[in-house]
Structure 1
Amino acid sequence: MAEISKTDKPVLVLLHGWGVNQGVWHTLLADIQPTVQVLPLDIPGFGLAQQLPEPYNFDTVLADLARQIPDNSLLCGWSLGGLLAIALAKRYPAKVRQLALVAATPCFLQHAGWPGMKAAVMQQFAQSLQRDLSLTIGRFLAIQAMGSATAKSDAAALKQAIAAFPQASATALSAGLEFLSSEDLREDFAGLAQPVVGCFGALDSLVPAAVVCELQKLLPAAELTVLAKASHAPFISHRSEFLGWLNHWLTSVAPRCD
């Protein structure tokens, strides 16, 4: 578990998405407001979290993360990390004081009346993952940046950020796709007791902006923001706007005193 100081500052826990690691957050850390302690975690099997829980499934991954999250934390999850964050907030409520979602949804797959990814697209990823792990991750990074005005440089920035950490295990990558395609946490999301905020991209091809309206129906009190020009990785493509959103949320939770 990463080290945090024993202070009165609340802890902001950051959870990354599929195919990457905590490195995606590192260029933001210096600009996150200082009234919180920041704890970027690696999902088991990604980055520095090389030890896999056995068996490797949704429940054991959640339990592994819950052991590392201090009580009463502010939990922010991107994409797959957001799916896990919703489950953590529901199953381990003492761990999560407030929840922030970044381009994340409780149900990633498209259903009748529910915007999401088509099952065929997810199946293609799973099949290509078995053929060429590196190429599949590269394609996924490109898709995450798709739609933004700086898509090529955004994808390069993502790739560079994750390269500083060990490559994800094939087991974790395959299981992560399974989580994204099989987990439906809409009921859990609707029943959350914690305050929820969210940041989404209007040009996101993986988590379509249309899902924001559906999320609002499930949880009317949620404060959800859509960045007009952003895609699936707003903290890379629209760093300034994303930091503005994030720090606004953190200020409401842990106000600055200066």
Structure 2
Amino acid sequence: MSIYLKEYPLTQPDKNEAVLGQTKPALVMLHGWSMHSGLWQTLAEQLAQHFRVICLDLPGHGLSGLCAPYQLETVTDILLQAIPTEQFMVLGWSLGASIALDMAWRYPKRVSRVITLAGNPCFVEQNDWPGVHPNVLMRFSENLMHDSHQTLVRFLALQVNGLPEGKHLLRQLKTAIESCPPPTVEALQGGLKILQTCDLRDELAALSQPVLAIFGDHDKLIPPVLAKVIKQRRPDCQISLLAGAGHAPFLTHSEHIQQAIIQFVDDA
């Protein structure tokens, strides 16, 4: 199967600049459920001033083909094969954060640093762990079978719910999403299954690589209290809590995210 890959900067005016770009540290960016790599464009272009940025469409999303079985390990392995550099930092948003953690845990020689953005190593709420109530993901899964388009619209609205500029951000998300074919229902169901069953809390605590976790304090899917809980589980984890940010902070806080990542890398 094919994985769609885009590198930033998109234009390389001359050969010398292209060569210089290849010498920058590589940063792989993995998007979230139901999305595609085009949503990264603004943040990717900003980060490309400092890194060789590589964006991938998850299997069954954007312009990437579907994989089977749609399981975390399979998705990770297929994406890893498409990454055109031996060692890289990985940034994962939402579902992409789960994939990034799995990639770092199982392939520590290839992943040098891990950045999670509005992600959770255990997405579903547990007795001792803040997360999304299981019924939320179950309803999404059931609704996909009846009306996948409307289900995706509801999910987009949930990401910007409660933000002052919510209506504008929702239009922005819809426009970006519609620039690519919609994800397959198989990919959507598979991604939800990963979110429902994935538990990488122990792996996060044991990772040998440095970790930066970025959260939004207005996120309706990832409780902000998770920042404190993760810090207790892994004291050396760097935390960035973005004031006024929801579940898609790259739309509203790209400069803050860029600064947090640069500082994270410079602290090496």
Deviation at 1:211, TM superposition (A): 1.0
Specify whether residues 228 and 35 from structure 1 end up closer, same or farther in structure 2 by C-alpha distance, changes over 3 A only: closer
Q: Which residue does the alignment assign to 1:188?
A: 203
Instruction: State the alpha-carbon separation in 1 of the partners of residues 198 and 172 from structure 2.
Output: 29
Of 94, 97, 103 in structure 2, the residue corresponding to residue 88 of structure 1 is 103
Of 206, 220, 240 in structure 2, the residue corresponding to residue 205 of structure 1 is 220
Specify whether residues 61 and 33 from structure 1 end up closer, same or farther in structure 2 by C-alpha distance, changes over 3 A only: closer
1:68 pairs with 2:86: no
Q: Which residue does the alignment assign to 2:67?
A: 53
Deviation at 1:218, TM superposition (A): 1.8
Instruction: State the alpha-carbon separation in 2 of the partners of residues 177 and 218 from structure 1.
Output: 25
Return the letter of the residue paired with 1:161.
A
Structure 1 residues without counterparts, runs of 5 or longer: 254-258
Instruction: State the alpha-carbon separation in 2 of the partners of residues 146 and 241 from structure 1.
Output: 21
Instruction: State the alpha-carbon separation in 2 of the partners of residues 53 and 102 from structure 1.
Output: 24
Contact 1:47 1:168 survives alignment (8 Å): yes
Instruction: State the alpha-carbon separation in 1 of the partners of residues 168 and 258 from structure 2.
Output: 19
| Residues 22-37 of structure 1: pairs in structure 2 closer than 5 A | 22-37=37-52
Of 235, 238, 241 in structure 2, the residue corresponding to residue 220 of structure 1 is 235
Q: Which residue does the alignment assign to 1:256?
A: none
Deviation at 1:158, TM superposition (A): 1.5
TM-score by length of 1: 0.92
Deviation at 1:252, TM superposition (A): 4.5
Return the letter of the residue paired with 1:90.
W
Instruction: State the alpha-carbon separation in 2 of the partners of residues 77 and 194 from structure 1.
Output: 15
Contact 2:70 2:191 survives alignment (8 Å): no
Of 4, 21, 24 in structure 2, the residue corresponding to residue 9 of structure 1 is 24
DSSP 3-state at the match of 2:116: strand
Return the letter of the residue paired with 2:55.
P
DSSP 3-state at the match of 2:42: coil
Deviation at 1:219, TM superposition (A): 1.2
Deviations 1:107-153 (A, max 9, x none): 01000111001011111111111111111111111111123221111
Of 159, 163, 173 in structure 2, the residue corresponding to residue 148 of structure 1 is 163
Instruction: State the alpha-carbon separation in 2 of the partners of residues 54 and 235 from structure 1.
Output: 30
1:20 pairs with 2:15: no
Deviation at 1:55, TM superposition (A): 2.3
- Aligned residues between the structures: 252
Return the letter of the residue paired with 1:148.
L
Deviation at 1:32, TM superposition (A): 1.7
Instruction: State the alpha-carbon separation in 1 of the partners of residues 30 and 97 from structure 2.
Output: 7
Q: Which residue does the alignment assign to 1:125?
A: 140
DSSP 3-state at the match of 1:181: helix
Specify whether residues 243 and 148 from structure 1 end up closer, same or farther in structure 2 by C-alpha distance, changes over 3 A only: farther
Return the letter of the residue paired with 1:129.
L
CA-based RMSD:
1.7
Contact 1:11 1:73 survives alignment (8 Å): yes
TM-score by length of 2: 0.89
Structure 2 residues without counterparts, runs of 5 or longer: 8-17
Instruction: State the alpha-carbon separation in 1 of the partners of residues 130 and 116 from structure 2.
Output: 17
